[in-house]
Amino acid sequence: MKIAKNIAAWISSSPKRYLGYFVPVFKIRCDDTPYHAGTAFGIEHEGKRYMVTAAHVLDRDENNPCDSENELFVGARGSLTQIGKFDISKINVSASSPSARRPLDLVLISPHDVDLSDVFTHFFTDKQFDKSRLRVDLYVAACGFPATKNRANRYARTLSRYPVGYFGRVSTPAKCRRAGFDPRTHFCFDIFLKKVFTGSQKEIKAPKPHGISGGPVFVVHNFRRPMMHMMPKLRGIVVESAPEERAIVCIDLFAVLSQANFVDRVLYFAYGSNMAIERLYERVPSAKFISVAALSGYTLRFHKPSKKDGSGKCDAAFTGNSSDTVLGVLYSINADQLSALDKYEGLGHGYDRKTVPLITCSGEIFQAETYIATNRDPSLRPLDWYKEHVLRGARAIGLPSGYIASIEAVVADFDVDKERRMNELEIYSKNVPS
C-alpha cells in the first residue's frame, strides 16, 4: 500500500518538474488591466526556439473592443511584456476527409522584440518528447493556467502564476472522432482529477477545464507498468474541451512535428518536369513527397516559352471546366528554399506563383503553391529531354495510363545540343533520398 501511495504521489506531482517551461498568456482590457487568455510553452525544434500555443489564443476577443488579432502579452522577468512583432509558423496538416478538415489549432511563435529566454526558464527538446504509441493505458496530465487563478490587480505589473494539471486516461480514437477530431493528429483523454500546484496540492474532481488552451500535455504513467516511476514527457497541446465526451482534446504534437514535419515548410504542387523527384531534389534538396494530387479546372499544356532554349515548357492552363484535370505531385519543401525554387522556375519571367486547391487520391484537400504561365505560345513544342523529365515523373508516381499516354502523344523536338541533353538526364543515375 505504501508503494502504491508513493507511485500515486509521484504521478500527481510529476508535471511540477516542468514549471518554468510553460507560462500564462495575457491580453489587455480597455482600462489597461491584463486578463488571462491561455497558456504557452517553449520548445527547441530543429535548432530554433519557439513559443507554442493554440492558434485561437491569438484570435481577437469579441468581448474586448480594445483587443486585436495576434496581440499577446507574457510575463518577462516578472513584468508584463507585449510581444509586438513576431513570426508565426503554422502546421499545415489536413484531417481525414474534406468534410471534416480544419486547420490545426496550433502556432509556433518566433518573437522579434522579446527574448524567449526571458519568458521561459527552460525549453522542451526532442529528448523530452514522448514517442510511444498512444494507448488507452497511458495516463496524461494537461497543464496550464486557468483564468480564475491568474487575474491580475488593476495596478499590478507582476502577474501571479497558479498552474494546474488535469489528469486522465487516454481515450479511444472513437471518442476523438465523436468529438469531431482526426485521431491521426489529435487525441483525447478522460478527465479524472484536477490538481492545483500550490503548497497543499489538493486533488479535486474536475468539472470542466478553463483557460488552459495552449498548455502542454505530458504522459505521466503507463498502466502496463503500474509500479514504475516514469519521468513525464511532453506529448501534446491542449486545444479544446469536449464536455459531451467529458474529455479534453489535444493535438498530438509529436505526431505533427515528426511525421508531417511541416514546421517552416510549404506545400508545392509539381505537374511538369518537377514531378520527377530527381529533378526537384537537384533544385530543392528539402523536397519530400506527400501525395499524388489533382488540380481541377485546368489542363496540361506545353506552351510556356523558355527563356533559355526557346522551347515549350509545362503550364497548368486554366479552363474553368470541372472535367479538366492536371495531375501531379504534392511536395513539402523548406520555406527558406522557396525563393530558390522561384528562381529556378523563373518567377516574374513567364511564370507566376499561385496558391491552388488540390485533392489527393485519398480525398484530402490541400492548398499548395504552384507555377502558372503568364506568357503562352501554342506553336511551341518541348525538347525531348524535357518531355522525358515529365514522363519519368508521371510513371514514377503511378499516374493513370491514359494521362501518361496523353503526355507521350505530345510531339517533342530533338535537342541538337548533346551536352545539354546529357547533363539534363544524368540526374537519374544519382541516389535521391526517399
Taking the mean position of all CA atoms in its chain, how far away is CA 104?
A: 7
Catalytic position from the list 240, 278, 345, 364: 345
Contact criterion met (CB below 8 Å) for 210 and 150: no
Burial label, 212 (beta-carbon count in 10 A; 0-12, 13-18, 19+): buried
* pTM recorded for the entire structure: 0.57
Q: What is the predicted pLDDT for the residue at 206?
A: 40
**Alpha helices, DSSP H, located in 226-383:** 253-255, 277-283, 338-345
Q: Sheet with 34-45: list strands edge to edge.
A: 79-83, 72-76, 22-28, 34-45, 48-53, 107-111, 86-90
pLDDT at position 200 is 45
In 258-362, DSSP assigns E strands to 265-270, 288-296, 298-305, 312-318, 325-334, 351-360
The second-level CATH assignment, the architecture, of 2-258 is Beta Barrel (2.40)
Under DSSP, the state recorded for 415 is P
- Is the separation of the CB atoms in 354 and 347 below 8 Å? no
The domain locations on the chain are 2-258, 264-429
CA 391 → CA 315, 339, 362, 373, distances in Å?
Answer: 15, 26, 23, 20
Q: How many CB atoms lie within 10 A of CB 32?
A: 9
Residue ranges, the chain, pLDDT below 50: 1-4, 94-101, 149, 153-159, 198-208, 260-263, 432-434
Domain 264-429 has CATH 3.10.490.10: yes
Question: Residue 117: its pLDDT value, please?
Answer: 94
**Chain center to CA of 128:** 19
DSSP string of 273-286? GGGSHHHHHHH-TT
Q: How far apart are CA 142 and CA 235, in angstroms?
A: 10
Look at residue 262 in the predicted model and tell me its pLDDT. Answer: 42
**Dihedral angle at the C-alpha atoms of 74, 248, 131, 432, nearest 10 degrees?**
-80
Q: Decide if 46 is catalytic.
A: no
d(CA 187, CA 185): 7
At 74-100, the pLDDT tens digits run: 888 778 888 888 887 776 554 433 333
What's the pLDDT tens digit per position in 26-66?
A: 888 888 888 888 899 999 977 789 999 998 888 888 888 88
Domain 264-429 in the same topology as domain 2-258: no
Q: Which amino acid is at 380?
A: L
